[in-house]
Amino acid sequence: MVSENPFGEFRRECEGALGYALEKVLPEIRVAALPLSKPPNIEFGQLASSLCFELAKKLNQKPQALAEQLVKAIDKVDFSLIAKVSSVGGYVNFHVDFAKFSALTLASIRQLGYGYGFLKTAKPLKVIIEHTSVNPLHPIHIGQARNPMLGDALARILQSRGHAVSKHYYIDDVGRQSSVIAYGYVKLGKPQPDEKADHFVGKIYTVTSCIVEINRLKKALVMAKAVGDMDEVARVNKELDDWVSIAAELKEKFPSIFDKLLAKISEDENPEEEINKLNRAYEKGEPAAKALIREVSELCLEGFRETQKRVEVFYDSWDWESDFVWSSQVSEVLQRLKASPFVFSEGGVLEFDAEKTARELQLKAKLGLSEAHEISPLTLVRADGTTLYTTRDVAYTLWKFSRSEKVINVIGMEQSLAQLQLKLLLYALGYGQYAENFVHFAYNLVTLPGYKMSSRRGRYITFDEVLDEAVERAYEEVSKRSPSLTEAEKRKIASFVGVGAVRYALVDVDASKPVVFTWDRVLNFETNSAPYVQYTHARACSILRKAEKQPETPAFELLSERLERELVLALAGFPEIFVEAADYLKPNLIADYVNALADKFNTFYNALPVLKAEPLGLSDARVVLTDAIHIVLHNALDLIGVVAPEKM
RNA sequence: GGGCCCGUAGCCUAGCACGGAUUAAGGUGUCGGCCUUCGGAGCCGGAGAUCUUGGGUUCAAAUCCCAACGGGCCCGCCA
């Protein structure tokens, strides 16, 4: 017999038994659901119900007395996996028949192999996951790296759940910043990158924007002095000081680029205006501007792709924001918005009344907002007729829904308001269905302990640096532990161990929690890390290699040690954990699960022999158990994009 | 001023959506053990927690509700 969900099998039987007993003992009672949960201790069975506590109050009886009646009413003959039912302190405890359950679980895992655990949804959907979407201005930094790690894990999980997942990267190339970098790039004479392209672009961007900013502030200072606005003078001065110190920093770090850019930019009467001009030309889609900004953006994206390849994150579609502006899609959205009762014009500026939308369409409770929550209005169109980011995002979102049924945006929680406004815009346009299938997967910030990361100021630790460091550390470890390996083998192992460690560290914490970046967190190679799980997997594989022959006569009933039973239970529970991770979008559950399983296996490994166990039937059963462990570790690691190696 | 997120041993985290059991679970650090056969990136043991505080709901609260405190974020004709 084979089951896709062994523990679910047992759960169904327990539900059946409990329902049956309730019907028999208290036919007049109706309960909404039969509560069943895992007891804190294996001694109390494998599933337990606290039903009697609820009933006790209603019926004015003692929970224990009720529990005893229910237990008595259950006829075990009708069930196959339930070995014993008992009542302890008012609980009804179900004990699994381990001989049968181990056989079922282990046979199922062997049979299903690398497909085990991935229960398919009853309602497969076309899902678009947008993630990463770092602006092509500078390298991806560690604060942003949490995004692709979460996004990619989600994509893998939902795909395994049976959804048709498409991974999208939104390239935000419409906006002043893109013109800033393009402007600097031209001033330098469109140089060939002499390093990784995104790092190169990042330098130019930071230096250019710094010089332009100082230039602007100096002019503002003259103006303020002329009008005699002393408060303004003080404010501008302070900001100027700040930027001047950044300039000093940058000049020191990148002297040649800095000097060259300073000289070239100084030739321009008004760099600010040059940049704005380029920006306007780009939005209009003028060929020269188009060619230039796309060229610089592509350069940066080329660097991103290199990094993404290292961590094995790939996209199905790269969507340019500018394409939506140049096509009629944004203006069409605008036309429809203007007709909405929730959009009004004020002095030539188009505004969206998000609060009114939520109130009149009675959405607050539905969206989990308190009635007191006042939602800020949103500007859709500037006085000069140009659109804003969220306005363009509406067109993009509609486009996404034209090719999918569900949209998941992996975007930092600091954008919660904008994402809420976007959802309300969908409602306002009459796309209630879309709005309900629009998910903002918000994650909390990654911060550095010392200072605030700022990409504008060039203050960040890049994702590449973190990966380099992790792989370097892994290389030292491998060299120390396995000196006999060839150089190529060491490099290969170091790569998947280092990358795995980083991926795991960024997925392991609940997405809603803030993370303070420390090297210790990411370079952890011990318990509760990818390397630990990878090592455990390699250990299991090593036993299987040494077993040589197939286990022909496994006697599963001999797996009677507590450790063995806990392992079987953990393995049998993987499908349910997977479903929870998929349906509630919680990739960290997978990391927690895989670590706990590795933990249990290592304890088992140290306590009990596998190959030398007596009799043969036990040894064979333990080999099958080890095989099942290796399969489930592999399957779970795969969901978070971590390689499960046979050797390391 | 309004709103959102976070607050669990020295440090890092799990548990909270769906309230339940003697003893709040791991890791790290710390103290002490294990060259135990199959890989020591490992294993075993000790010490370490008024689950931020105060109220409330309940037979039962880390978990639900209210308030306060501490930290972060957002409220732009930026993206």
pTM: 0.95
Q: Which of A537, A541, A559 is nearest to A622 (CA)?
A: A559
Q: How many CA atoms lie within 13 Å of A165's alpha carbon, on the beta-carbon side?
A: 22
**At A95, is the secondary structure helix, strand, or coil?**
strand
Distance A569 CA to B43 C1' (A): 22
Query: In angstroms, rounded to a whole number, what is the distance separating the alpha carbons of residues A404 and A407?
Result: 7
Backbone angles phi, psi at A48, to 5 degrees: -140, 150
Looking at the DSSP bridge assignments, the partners of residue A393 are none
The Cα-based distances of A606 to A180, A189, A527 in angstroms read 60, 64, 15
d(CA A381, CA A330): 11
Nearest to A90 by CA among A128, A51, A42: A51
3-state helix, strand, coil in chain A (%, to 5): 60, 10, 30
Nearest nucleotide by C1' position to the A595 CA atom:
B26
pLDDT, mean of residues A243-266: 94
* Pairwise CA distance, residues A639 & A213, whole Å: 45
Is the Cα torsion angle A253, A255, A256, A258 positive or negative in sign? Answer: positive
pLDDT tens figures, A375-414: 999 999 999 888 999 999 999 999 999 999 999 999 999 9
Length of chain A: 648
Quick one: pLDDT at residue A33?
79
- Please report the ipTM that was assigned to this predicted complex: 0.95
Give the pLDDT confidence score for residue A158 in this predicted structure: 98
Residues of chain A with CATH 3.40.50.620: 126-171+319-447
Encode pLDDT of A470-490 as tens digits.
999 999 999 998 888 999 999
Pair of tokens at residue A55: 């009933």
Question: What angle is formed at CA A312 by the lines to CA A309 and CA A317, rounded to 5 degrees?
Answer: 75
pLDDT of residue A59: 84
Cα A577 from Cα A116, distance rounded (Å):
12
CA of A619 to C1' of B37 (A): 14
Indicate the average pLDDT of chain A. Answer: 93
| CA-closest candidate to residue A355, choices A343, A338, A346, A368 | A343
Residue nearest B12, CA–C1′ metric: A521
pLDDT reported for residue A388: 94
pLDDT of residue A5: 97
What distance lies between CA A226 and its chain's CA centroid? 52
Q: What integer pLDDT is reported at residue A458 of this predicted model?
A: 81
Which DSSP letter does residue A270 get?
A: -
HSE-up of residue A239 (Cα within 13 Å, Cβ side):
16
Nucleotide B79's nearest residue (CA vs C1') is A389
Looking at the DSSP bridge assignments, the partners of residue A439 are A408
* Fold of the CATH domain A126-171+319-447: Rossmann fold (3.40.50)
**pLDDT of amino acid A1:** 84
Q: Residue A42 pLDDT > 90, yes or no?
A: no
Does residue A583 have a pLDDT over 80?
Answer: yes
Closest residue (CA to C1') to nucleotide B24 in the complex: A40
pLDDT value of residue A401: 98
- Predicted local confidence at residue A397, as pLDDT: 98
Contacts of residue A550, Cβ cutoff 8 Å, sequence gap at least 6: none
pLDDT of residue A455: 76
Burial pattern A13-45, b for ≥16 Cβ within 10 A else e, equals: bbbebbebbbeebbeeeeeeeeebeebeeeebb
Those residues with Cβ within 8 angstroms of residue A532's Cβ, 6 or more apart along the chain or in another chain: A525, A526, A595, A598
| Segment A590-634, tens digit of pLDDT | 999 999 999 999 999 999 999 999 899 999 999 999 999 999 999
CA angle A272, A195, A519 (to 5 degrees): 95
Q: For residues A623 and A250, what is the distance between their CA atoms, to the nearest angstrom?
A: 60
The model's pLDDT over A516-574, given as tens digits with 9 standing for 90+, comes to 999 999 999 999 999 999 999 999 999 999 998 888 899 999 999 999 999 999 999 99
Share of chain A above pLDDT 70, in %: 100
Which three-class secondary structure state does DSSP give residue A285? coil
Report CA(A533)–C1'(B39) in Å, whole number: 13
* Spacing of A438 CA from B65 C1' in Å: 29
Q: pLDDT for A342-356, tens place per residue?
A: 999 988 899 999 999
The spacing between the Cα labelled CA in A38 and the C1' in B60, in angstroms, equals 17
Count of other CB atoms within 10 angstroms of residue A255: 10
CA distance A425 to A391: 9
A143 CA, B79 C1': separation in Å? 17
- Band of residue A51 on the pLDDT scale cut at 50, 70, 90: very high
The mean pLDDT value for A252-280 works out to 94
Q: Which pLDDT does position A550 carry in this prediction?
A: 85
Residues carrying CATH 1.10.730.10, chain A:
463-639
Q: Write down the pLDDT at residue A366.
A: 86
* Amino acid whose CA is nearest the C1' of B42: A602
Q: Closest CA to B37 C1' — which residue? A: A609
In whole angstroms, what is the distance from residue A320 CA to residue A302 CA? 15
Query: What does the alpha-carbon distance between residue A109 and residue A116 come to, in Å, rounded to a whole number?
Result: 6
Contacts of A56 (CB under 8 A, 6+ apart): A62, A63, A66, A90
Q: Distance between CA A534 and CA A457 in Å, rounded?
A: 38
Q: Which nucleotide is nearest to A57 (CA to C1')?
A: B59
C-alpha to C-alpha distances, A84 to A3, A80, A96, A126, A206, nearest whole angstrom:
21, 11, 7, 44, 69
CA of A369 to C1' of B67 (A): 19
Average pLDDT estimate for A130-156: 96
Structure confidence at residue A231 (pLDDT): 82
- Rounded Cα–Cα distance for residues A142 and A120 (Å): 34
State how far Cα A43 lies from the chain centre: 36
Distances (CA, A) of A639 to A153, A590, A635, A644: 6, 8, 7, 11
Which part of chain A has CATH 3.30.1360.70? 6-96
Percent of chain A with pLDDT over 90: 82
Separation of A329 CA and B18 C1' (Å): 43
DSSP annotation of A139 reads: P
* pLDDT band, residue A12 (cuts 50/70/90): very high
**Which nucleotide is closest to A538, CA to C1'?**
B39
Residue closest to B6, CA→C1'? A513
pLDDT tens, position by position, A61-101: 889 999 999 999 987 777 899 999 999 989 999 999 999 99
User: Which one-letter amino acid corresponds to residue A513?
Assistant: K
Q: How far apart are CA A503 and CA A50, in angstroms?
A: 39
Report the CATH number of the A6-96 domain: 3.30.1360.70
| pLDDT of residue A192 exceeding 90 | yes
Alpha-carbon distances of A110 from A89, A298, A533, A608, A627, rounded to whole Å: 39, 46, 20, 22, 8
Q: How many CB atoms lie within 10 A of CB A541?
A: 21
Q: Looking at the domain covering A463-639, what would its CATH class be?
A: mainly alpha
Q: Which nucleotide is nearest to A346 (CA to C1')?
A: B77
- Which nucleotides in chain B have some atom under 7 angstroms from a protein Cβ? 2-7, 12-15, 17-18, 20-22, 26-28, 36-44, 58-60, 71-79
- Mean pLDDT calculated for residue range A420-429: 96
DSSP, res A349: E
**Nearest nucleotide relative to A535: CA against C1':** B41
Question: How far is it, in rounded angstroms, from Cα A644 to Cα A618?
Answer: 27
CA–C1' span, A384 to B77, in Å? Answer: 8
Closest CA to A626 of A109, A7, A42: A109
Using the structure, give the distance in angstroms from the CA atom of A376 to the C1' atom of B77, rounded to a whole number.
15
Short-list A191, A188, A221, A220, CA closest to A207: A188
The average pLDDT across A330-341 equals: 94
